[in-house]
Amino acid sequence: MPHESVILLHGLCRTARSMRPMAHALAGAGYSVVNVDYPSRSASILELAESTIPSALKSPEVIKSHKIHFVTHSMGGILLRSFLSRQKINGLGRVVMLSPPNQGSEVVDNLKGVALFQWLNGPAGQELGTDESSTPNRLGGVDFELGVITGDRSINWINSLMIAGPDDGKVSVARTKIQGMRAHIVLHVVHPLIMRSPQVQSATLQFLSSGRFAN
């Protein structure tokens, strides 16, 4: 293939280590991979996006790329949406978001006033509610090639009690959707481990290469 790179953005309270299985799968398929680490609990979504994505775009693997793809987990997708709402990425290819809270999460609605939740999740975590003023809902639809993969299996029944409809323990299936996306698929996986699933890795590779998921 022409030289193509993939930038990985992990989720809230995670590190680049969580995305290593996905990075390995992408590298095995011939992509140059930049697995970004960023301090997800330290700042707002806007601040994290502006401090993280430009530096990733300056990576040697990305600079020499014909196409720049993204694979994000959870809040990483909101960072990318935030960045792209203000700036264009030349050579942007396709984007796969894994369980993104594209319309927010009811878990945040219920727990954002709790001191422990605030401490664990930082400023960005407070922005991920489902109300109209939340960051995901203020960003609007997308105008890039986006495929969303989410799960319908939960190992956190307490969180699931707060969420309407099928969910992955953090986000409802319905709230991962966003206007303008090209494809959406639900697999039987859980939120924190979605990137480790071979089925998810296969679907990710399929969308990056073809812009669709298999039926």
**pLDDT in the model for residue 2:** 62
Cβ-based neighbours of 138, under 8 Å, separated by 6 or more = 132
Burial 33-62 (b: 16+ CB within 10 A, else e): bbbbebebeebebbebbbebbeebbebebb
pTM of the model: 0.96
**pLDDT in the model for residue 215:** 63
**pLDDT in the model for residue 113:** 86
Burial 123-141 (b: 16+ CB within 10 A, else e): ebbbbbbbeeebbbbebee
**pLDDT in the model for residue 80:** 98
What are the pLDDT tens digits along the chain (215 aa)?
568 999 999 999 999 999 999 999 999 999 999 999 999 999 999 999 999 999 999 999 999 999 999 999 999 999 999 999 999 999 999 999 999 999 999 999 999 889 999 999 999 999 999 999 999 999 999 999 999 999 999 999 999 999 999 999 999 999 999 999 999 999 999 999 999 999 999 999 999 999 999 86
* 11 CB neighbour count, 10 Å cutoff: 26
Q: What is the largest CA-CA distance in the chain?
A: 49
Q: Half-sphere exposure (CA, 13 Å, Cβ side) for 204?
A: 33
**pLDDT in the model for residue 214:** 84
Architecture of the domain made up of 4-209: 3-Layer(aba) Sandwich (3.40)
**pLDDT in the model for residue 168:** 97
* Residue whose tokens read 């011939």: 30
- The bridge status of strand 4-9 relative to strand 32-36 is parallel
Q: Where are the domains of the chain?
A: 4-209
**pLDDT in the model for residue 157:** 92
**pLDDT in the model for residue 182:** 98
**pLDDT in the model for residue 98:** 98
Using CA atoms, how far apart are residues 202 and 25, in angstroms rounded to an integer?
8
